[in-house]
């Protein structure tokens, strides 16, 4: 059971406002003001980012066409003894073949008639060449099959028995190359609610609602980081979840990387997927280490960036958990994402009164939606004891 608390003896004073802690998620993300016209608080939101489309290269001028060679495979059914069929063009054209006719066992050959199976035929007088080339009509569909029939004529016995073989082309082309297009990819995010509360006696605390709102304001950064990092209240797209791709092994037996190696892996993989600035998310416990390794610079606007200019977000609400949600005291995880946008609803305050306890409770709450574009990757950082005589910590450099 809860009991009311009372102010101690002495003079009531008001403390001056504190200084908000810097360099967390709010310093790196785009934090938007409440917009009553956009109602995402109930079902979340979806969007189609254009920053993820990779784009391509094209030779020559704007309208210069380019033909791509065909890609066809020739197969055949059972062949008469001595007959062979092969593609006869080095460019792998689908309609050029070489026919090697079978050699008759007896008789003097006067010639050979070849029905190519595509509506055309050729007559070859003696002596018949070792290989007979033919150009088929270009296939319009795949697969396409032709039946090739050879008929020999002999000086003494006349026309021999026709012998047939089937050949099939499977593939496509040649075609004219076209410029690639990247599909519209939809992404989605779900909201969560942050809150803070004041519990007090109903007399002498008329500003309970305002105090609850102030408490929420001072803790908002950390609470949003916690919700975004763990997704523990259903936030979709959380960092320490299957939404992030691990670039290093998840197993605890894997020691992880040095912090500068981890940053390189994240920036390399992240920049290949996102065509905008990255945000490197790390627990605040790694900030001094990253600074010591000269991986932290202060940009002209006061924000912290990597040597490549990507933003650091050292979150007080970030833990050491990996994408599997498991934390290890000997290791920490860093994450890289594309642009992050934090959308916030209005602060809503409610008050309740408990008559049996003679207490008032004021609760201030705000809906939050955190969206990430294009990429979420993670890399494990290994903690190691500092060597004896190690250099002292270096302050972030001024860029």
Residue 234: inside a domain, yes or no? Answer: yes
Do 140 and 195 belong together in one domain? Answer: no
pTM for this predicted structure: 0.69
Q: Which residue has the tokens 């792998």?
A: 92
For 277-295, the pLDDT digits (tens) are 999 999 999 999 999 999 9
Residue 280 CA to residue 337 CA, distance in Å, equals 7
Q: Buried (b) or exposed (e) across 224-247, using 16+ Cβ within 10 A?
A: bbbbbbbbeeebbbbbbbebbeeb
Does residue 191 lie in a domain region? yes
Q: Which of 133, 157, 176 is the last residue of a domain?
A: 176
pLDDT of residue 2: 46
Give the residue-averaged pLDDT of 182-199.
Answer: 88
User: Binning pLDDT at 50, 70 and 90, where does residue 221 land?
Assistant: very high
Question: What is the reported pLDDT for 184?
Answer: 83
Q: Write down the mean pLDDT value for the chain.
A: 83
Report, as an integer, the average pLDDT of 169-186: 78
pLDDT, greater one: 163 or 385: 163
SS3 99: strand
Same domain, 201 and 260: yes
* Beta pairing class for 340-344 and 331-337: unpaired
What is the predicted pLDDT for the residue at 390? 38
Tell the residue number behind the tokens 């047939």, with chain if given: 164
Strands 297-298 and 304-305: antiparallel
Residues spanned by the domain of 171: 68-176
Which is higher by pLDDT, 31 or 15? Answer: 31
Least confident of 41-50, 111-120, 171-180, 232-241: 171-180
Residue 4's CB is within 10 A of a number of other CB atoms, namely 13
DSSP 8-class letter at 70: P
pLDDT for the residue 396 = 41
Q: Give yes or no for residue 397 having a pLDDT over 50.
A: no
Please indicate, yes or no, whether residues 33 and 100 belong to a single structural domain of this protein: no
Tell me the chain's radius of gyration from C-alpha atoms: 37
State what percent of residues in the chain have pLDDT above 70. 85
Residue 392: pLDDT over 50: no
Task: Spell out the residues 6+ positions from residue 293 whose beta carbon is closer than 8 angstroms to its own.
Answer: 259, 260
Residue 187: what pLDDT? 85
Q: What tens digit of pLDDT does each residue of 70-104 get? A: 778 888 888 887 788 888 876 666 677 888 877 76
Which domain CATH number covers 74? 2.60.40.10
Last residue of a domain, one of 158, 176, 194: 176
91 and 169, same domain (yes or no):
yes
Question: What's the CA angle centered on 182, arms 176 and 184, to 5 degrees?
Answer: 140
Q: Which of 176, 204, 237 is the last residue of a domain?
A: 176
Position 210 pLDDT exceeds 80:
yes
Name the domain count of the chain. Answer: 2
Does 353 fall in a domain?
Answer: yes
Alpha carbon distance 301, 26 (integer Å): 14
Residue 382 in domain: yes
Looking at residues 195-220, what average pLDDT do you find? 82
Is pLDDT of 394 > 60?
Answer: no
Collect all residues with Cβ–Cβ distance below 8 Å to 290 and sequence separation of at least 6.
Answer: 259, 263, 282, 296, 312
């Amino acid at each position: 059971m809860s009991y009311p608390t009372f102010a101690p003896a002495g003079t009531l004073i008001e403390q001056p406002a504190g200084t908000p802690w810097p360099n967390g998620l709010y310093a790196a993300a785009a934090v938007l003001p409440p917009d009553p016209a956009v109602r995402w608080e109930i079902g979340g939101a979806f969007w189609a980012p254009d920053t993820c489309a990779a784009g391509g290269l094209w030779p020559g001028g704007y309208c210069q066409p380019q033909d791509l060679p065909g890609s066809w495979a020739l197969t055949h059914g059972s062949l008469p003894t001595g007959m062979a069929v092969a593609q006869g063009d080095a460019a792998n054209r689908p309609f050029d073949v070489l026919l090697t006719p079978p050699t008759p066992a007896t008789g003097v050959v006067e010639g050979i008639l070849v029905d190519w199976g595509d509506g055309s035929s050729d007559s070859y007088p003696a002596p018949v060449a070792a290989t007979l080339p033919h150009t088929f009509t270009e296939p319009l569909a795949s697969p396409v099959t032709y039946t090739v029939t050879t008929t020999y004529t002999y000086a003494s016995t006349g026309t021999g028995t026709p012998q047939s073989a089937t050949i099939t082309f499977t593939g496509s082309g040649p075609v004219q190359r076209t410029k690639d297009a990247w599909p519209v990819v939809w992404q989605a995010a779900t909201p969560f609610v942050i809150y803070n509360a004041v519990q007090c006696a109903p007399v002498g605390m008329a500003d309970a609602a305002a105090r609850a709102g102030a408490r929420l304001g001072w803790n908002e950064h950390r609470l949003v980081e916690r919700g975004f990092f763990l997704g523990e209240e259903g936030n979709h797209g959380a960092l320490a979840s299957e939404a992030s791709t691990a670039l290093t092994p998840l197993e605890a037996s894997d020691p992880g990387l040095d912090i500068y190696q981890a940053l390189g892996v994240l920036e390399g993989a992240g920049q290949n997927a996102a065509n905008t600035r990255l945000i490197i998310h790390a627990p605040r416990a790694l900030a001094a280490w990253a600074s010591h390794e000269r991986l932290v610079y202060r940009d002209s606007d006061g924000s912290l960036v990597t040597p490549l200019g990507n933003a650091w977000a050292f979150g007080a609400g970030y833990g050491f958990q990996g994408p599997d949600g498991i934390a290890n005291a000997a290791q920490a995880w860093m994450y890289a994402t594309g642009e992050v946008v934090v959308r916030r609803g209005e602060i809503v305050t409610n008050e309740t009164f408990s008559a049996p306890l003679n207490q008032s409770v004021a609760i201030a709450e705000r809906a939050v939606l955190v969206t990430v574009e294009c990429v979420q990757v993670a890399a494990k950082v290994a903690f190691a004891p500092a060597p004896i005589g190690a250099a002292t910590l270096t302050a972030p450099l001024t860029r």
